[in-house]
Amino acid sequence: MKEQLTGIILAGGNSSRMHQDKALLKLRGKFFFEILYDKLKKICTKVIISTNNQEVKINAANCISVPDIIKNAGPGGGIYSALDASETEKNLIVSVDTPFIPKELFDFLLKANRQNFVVTVISEGDTLHPLIGIYSKKFTDILFSELSSGNRKIKDIIQKVPHNIADIRKESFYNGLILRNINTQAEYNAILKL
């Protein structure tokens, strides 16, 4: 039986450098969000996609689509809206522009997350990846408060709650590709050749 865990795909960004919605980019015949959905559904009871794009909502019919409640709040707004909609204490969050994340990374996060942590995120040494992690429903209130006061830096907000930062560099599944963000057309063209 699956653990009570909600998967959350953050797909609400403006994609200003890509000039098109990254959720609808394709790799090996699948939309980016579909690649992540297929991995999340193996371990999550539900999957939420945070998006304001009607086309993404239509294509992501298997997901619960959630628009931003707090407008123009960046990734924090997407996290807040998805956590607000979630019915589980634990939530596995991933950014839609990281299609190479393996399921093993999700398993690693679940092991690194302890009961007393409100947030568990990954790092590559000093480089923090706050948009890939386990977020407790308990994070919702402080996130709302911080976003409402103008603080949009997730890295800073995480510091205000019990948290764990798990370095993945020594894990067997780790390589330089798995956390690659696809932000520009050049980056997208490069991964299509892999």
Domain ranges of the chain: 5-192
SS3 82: helix
The pLDDT, as a whole number, for residue 16 is: 61
Burial class (CB in 10 A: 0-12, 13-18, 19+), 72: exposed
- Asked if pLDDT for residue 1 goes beyond 70, the answer is no
| Rounded average pLDDT over 60-79 | 93
d(CA 53, CA 65): 10
- Alpha-carbon gap, residue 65 to 56, rounded angstroms: 9
**For the structural domain made of 5-192, what CATH number should be given?**
3.90.550.10
- % of the chain surpassing 90 pLDDT: 76
Could you tell me the sign of the dihedral formed by the alpha carbons of 12, 13, 16, 19, in that order? negative
Which pLDDT score is estimated for 13? 67
d(CA 180, CA 167): 16
Global pTM reads 0.94
pLDDT digits (tens, 9 = 90+) for 129-156: 999 999 999 999 999 999 999 999 999 9
- Cβ of 121: how many Cβ atoms within 10 Å? 24
What the block records as the tokens of 155 is 């890295």
Q: What is the rounded distance in angstroms from the CA atom of residue 146 to the CA atom of residue 43? A: 30
Cα of 161 vs its chain's centroid, Å = 19
Strand 26-27, strand 30-31: pairing: antiparallel
- Would you place residue 17 in the very low, low, confident or very high pLDDT band (cuts 50, 70, 90)? low
Residue with tokens 């607000």: 84
For residue 50, pLDDT beyond 60? yes
